[in-house]
Chain A
Amino acid sequence: MYVAVKGGERAIDNAHAWLAEERRGDPAVSELSLAQIRVQLKLAVNRVMAEGSLFDPDLAALAIKQSRGDLIEAIFLIRAYRTTLPRHGASNPIDTAEMAVDRRVSATFKDLPGGQVLGPTFDYTHRLLDFKLAAEGGVGPVATAPATQGPVPHVTEMLNRDGLIEEAPRDDTPPPDLTRTPLELPASRPLRLQAITRGDEGFILSMAYSTQRGYGRTHAFVGELRIGAVAVEMEIPELGFAVEIGEIEVTECETVNQFKGSKTEPPQFTRGYGLVFGQSERKAIAMSLVDRALRWKELGEDFSGAPAQDEEFVLYHADNIQATGFLEHIKLPHYVDFQAELELVRRLRAETMAMREAVQ
């Protein structure tokens, strides 16, 4: 409405002040600290880091506080901050075989070198509300075991030694950077993986789920899912060698999929891959399924028309910051366009009425 929307400067200031007050809520309730969010809402922090593509638990906690727990809004804050940061260089690829694993499970082998480590998981908990938590119940000491020593080899590596799974040779070509170059299709696999790992968890989950229900089925097994800390190393040109600049927690999922083969090629399993910041295992598994579905062309499979096989569809709609912005922009004033439509409808109606009268 003309009058209501115009003269908005004061309205905006007041709205922001009100928002700040709502964010704090009842001052009688103690304020959330960033440390509380970072430690006790860690999975929310992980999601914000993953989809914000910035590994910084403190900033993610701040964004969650500022956004009142609206995680997409928090991701947006992180993205907008991240894009202004200068780029000093690129790290070496992380080596997940060297991961200090907190959790590591394989669905394909009962036991394997490095062992199955259940870790801190919701799996096998009964989803019953724990009313003790409402009473702020403390947690007693829990049992510990010595950490596993040495590298934990990947399940797919073991399959690879026997030629049972497609090769994934090391490739040191610098991957394209989604945040620095416009998305152009067809996209390479590194580019697709980048887009999916920062894509919306709900969207990627639904895409992956649709492949399981037959829309681009790939018969995936979780070959391995591992969560833990890995070192980040960077080559320092002045030094001439790589130094460790920090440690990040990641979740990695490798799926072993439906084999393919022909008269001349012996059958082999194929791979899907997922890697996400933090403990984000739903996302990592979903990512590996979507990755595998998108690989139909290079693996000589048929395009069945499934959404999860459609690179353009997946990549153009996975980003929740793009999606939410565009969706919500329709609440901005559109009265110039609407006025044009109004005039048109009025004129067309008048013409139709005149014709109807002429007929009568």
Chain B
Amino acid sequence: MTFHQPVQDTPLLRVTGLTKHYGARIGCADVSFDLYPGEVLGIVGESGSGKSTLLASLAGHLRPEFGRIAYDGRDVLAMSETERRRLSRTDWAYVHQNPRDGLRMGVSAGGNVGERLMAIGGRHYGDIRAKATDWLGRVEIAADRIDDRPSAFSGGMQQRLQIARNLVTAPRLVFMDEPTGGLDVSVQARLLDLLRGLVRDLGLSVIIVTHDLAVVRLLADRLMVMKSGHVVEQGLTDQVLDDPQHAYTQLLVSSVLQV
């Protein structure tokens, strides 16, 4: 259970009225929330509920038609692509469900972790390598695998490598899209444990999308439940899970959490 409270009273991310359509179909509609520094927000819902669309719109991979996203007081949607891409390789990070989408499969583990360091100006090979080694250790990958390519890694290792690659530049806001999806249950548990430790140690703000309520119970301070593109319920994670108000949330909780 995570109990770290927001340390500041101004939100890091303020989202208002965010709406994204695919033609006539709703992707997500009128989504508003605040995310405070150090806070972990879980977004749950079944597939097609709009949670992935929302995440992609927040991270700048999709362009929403309406609404505002303010990051640290700056209007994200009004930024030039240069500014936005700079943000996404410094302050922001994005952990894909499939590590192949977030890693360079033809580049060694060390190079994968080092890329963000070099992208922001790291020009000392020894320092980059030392930092990569350190981060491989933090995600429980042996230092002697530093020159191996991710294709030689197991799925769980690849996912941990992707996390190291994202966190090495100490981002403030991390987007995670089903980070434990596609992994074995035992591997999932280990990864969740690792993530929980990293989030706490680094004081990260995280938006995590998942269909797995166990993941959010373990990681998220707050929860948003989505259905058909709309947010149907939000609140503190324990509150929502223990006393769901919306019929859909009740269904979700009863069908999954009783296991």
Contact = CB atoms under 8 A, between A and B. Distances in A.
A340 B246 CA distance: 70
Interface string B2-27: 00000000000000000000011000
Interface residues of A, number: 4
Contacts of B23: 262, 300
Contacts of A263: 24
A181 interface: no
5 contacts: A262-B23, A262-B24, A263-B24, A264-B24, A300-B23
User: Chain B interface: which size bin?
Assistant: under 10
Contacts of A264: 24
Interface of A: 262-264, 300
A300 B23 CA distance: 10
A262 B23 CA distance: 10
Contacts of B24: 262-264
Nearest 5 pairs of A and B residues by beta carbon: A264-B24, A262-B23, A263-B24, A262-B24, A300-B23
Interface of B: 23-24
A300 B25 CA distance: 14
A264 B24 CA distance: 9
A298 to B, nearest CB: 14
Nearest to B24: A264
Nearest to A264: B24
A238 B23 CA distance: 51
Nearest to A263: B24
B259 to A, nearest CB: 36
A311 to B, nearest CB: 21
Nearest to A300: B23
A262 B25 CA distance: 11
B37 to A, nearest CB: 38
A262 B24 CA distance: 10
A260 to B, nearest CB: 12
B21 to A, nearest CB: 13
Contacts of A300: 23
A104 B16 CA distance: 60
Contacts of A262: 23-24
A300 B22 CA distance: 11
A264 B25 CA distance: 11
A265 to B, nearest CB: 10
A192 B229 CA distance: 38
B54 to A, nearest CB: 22
A31 B24 CA distance: 69
A97 to B, nearest CB: 35
A92 B108 CA distance: 58
A114 B24 CA distance: 43
A131 B160 CA distance: 71
A263 B24 CA distance: 9
A115 B212 CA distance: 64
A137 to B, nearest CB: 61
A103 B24 CA distance: 45
A262 to B, nearest CB: 7
B147 to A, nearest CB: 15
